[in-house]
Amino acid sequence: MRFVLYLLMMIVVALGVGFGLSYYALTDGRLFGVAQVGPWHAWPDVGANAPNPYTRGHLARTAAFELGQSEGLQFTATTDSDGQPLTRDCAYRIDGRTPLATFWTLVALDEAGINIAAPDVAPAMRSSAIARTDDGSIVINVGTRLLPLNWLELTGEGPFKLVLTLYDTAAFSGFSSDASMPVIIRGSCA
Amino acid sequence: MTRFLLWLLGGVVLGGIIHIVVILTLPALAEQSLWSRVADIEADNRMVILPRVVAGEPNPLGLDPALAYGLCRVDLANGPAYVSGVLPEGFWSVALFNPSGIVTYSTTNRDGIGKTLELGIFNAAQTRLLAQQQLDIAEGLLVVESASDELLILVRLAPPHQVMRTRFEQELSEVECGTRN
């Protein structure tokens, strides 16, 4: 009797660890090849010609045109800098500096990867088309309700994610400079 | 108690093995791949402009709405491939995708190539032949060796402003792409 119970427990633990760890590795993946800078995360070797097995799994899950290593790097944020999930009930401020790049674009996507910019505005915000502060840093307001300065206007409701794509960032090779990615600060909520 | 811990340890080790098997087999088990998603696009030996990303519409290929994309599919079994054309002033980059959807080569126009895009793609045997013939390679031509015969060539072109997009897409579609016998 005891043998059967132990066997069942072993099987449950094995399945839980095996599939749970795999799911974690390919979604959050912080311990497995995902680089984290503040709320932003990226798969640094997604554009390498010999990616590690975890990145291969990620590539198989997205099945999208990823950026090659010399073309740039894509960062995704699903939470603000305090770790709260991004939701369209709230307004957010993206504030700070980005790593050196020829240019970057910022888009907001829902959980299915569909662009959620308001219908009449450009679906992406481009680094060359925003007003900057005197010291060259960026301030972008993101939300569904009217916001001042650079406003990435969203539509709909529910959770969302922000994708910052840096083009031609060969200079950005080490992930030591935490301060170089902008922070995401939650503002007022509905 | 010791026996319980041993069984637990056994479960964890077995879980680790399951995890490794899952991660390694996942790419082969995926129902949709990059290649199956672009299979309907008639991009064989020609540069096709991918449809623009519109807000509210699905974007399975993960394209950036600010960029114009040109896609060309080649098979090096038919001969070495070339990509040749002049692109407008602006950032552009090229990436080669193998059948697993992995970027095997990529470059941008910041690497001193400027506006002209001249790419010659050869597999291992063709590269050897090229070396044996000791041809003079024209200046500005990038020679790329590819491990796989089937390749997707993706050119990303960034119009500085959206009003220039139509012209940029037109110039991108005039880029020649294909294989030479």
A88 lies in the same domain as A5: no
Distances (CA, A) of A172 to A71, A176, A180, B108, B150: 12, 10, 10, 15, 31
Arithmetic mean of pLDDT, A148-167: 88
pLDDT value of residue B13: 92
Residue-wise burial string across A16-38, b where 16 or more C-beta atoms lie within 10 A, e elsewhere: ebbeebbeebbeebeebbbbebb
User: Would you call B102 and A116 a contact, using CB atoms and an 8 Å cutoff?
Assistant: no
Cβ contacts of B4 on chain A, cutoff 8 Å: 6
Output the six-digit token pair for B114: 């400027």
Residue A31's Cα: distance from chain center in Å? 16
User: Considering the entire predicted model, what is its pTM?
Assistant: 0.86
Q: For an interface test with A, which of B64, B109, B163 has the most A Cβ atoms less than 10 Å from its Cβ?
A: B64
Residue A163's pLDDT band, with cuts at 50, 70 and 90, is very high
CATH number at residue A115: 2.60.120.600
A46 lies in the same domain as A60: yes
Report how many Cβ contacts below 8 Å link chain A to chain B. 198
A60 lies in the same domain as A28: no
Domain that holds residue A47: 34-189
Residue pLDDT, tens place only, A80-123? 888 888 888 888 999 888 888 888 899 999 888 888 888 888 88
A52 lies in the same domain as A26: no
More confident residue, A129 or B69: B69
Centre a 10 Å sphere on the Cβ of residue A61 and count the other Cβ atoms it contains: 14
- Rounded to the nearest 10 degrees, what angle do helices A2-27 and B2-29 cross at? 40
Which listed CATH number (3.30.70, 2.60.40, 3.40.50, 1.20.950) goes with B34-179? Answer: 2.60.40
Residue A170's pLDDT band, with cuts at 50, 70 and 90, is low
Arithmetic mean of pLDDT, B94-99: 90
**3-class DSSP assignment, residue A12:** helix
User: Would you call A70 and B107 a contact, using CB atoms and an 8 Å cutoff?
Assistant: yes
Count of structural domains within chain A: 2
Residue pLDDT, tens place only, A125-137? 888 888 888 888 8
Please tell me what DSSP assigns to residue A68: P
- Rounded to the nearest 10 degrees, what angle do helices A53-62 and A2-27 cross at? 70
Arithmetic mean of pLDDT, A136-154: 87
Q: For an interface test with A, which of B29, B59, B97, B148 has the most A Cβ atoms less than 10 Å from its Cβ?
A: B59
Least confident of A30-34, A96-100, B81-85, B152-156: A30-34
A73 lies in the same domain as A102: yes
pLDDT value of residue A176: 44
**3-class DSSP assignment, residue A112:** coil
Tell me which residue has tokens 């490794």: B20
Gyration radius (Cα) of chain B, Å:
22
A41 lies in the same domain as A123: yes
Closest CA to A105 of B67, B26, B144, B122: B67
Least confident of A50-59, B109-118, B154-163: B109-118
ipTM over 0.85: no
A20 lies in the same domain as A43: no
A6 lies in the same domain as A87: no
Phi-psi category of B97—alpha, beta or left, where left has phi over 0 and alpha has psi -120 to 50? beta
Chain A: residue whose CA lies nearest to B62: A64
User: Would you call A124 and B66 a contact, using CB atoms and an 8 Å cutoff?
Assistant: yes
pLDDT value of residue A178: 45
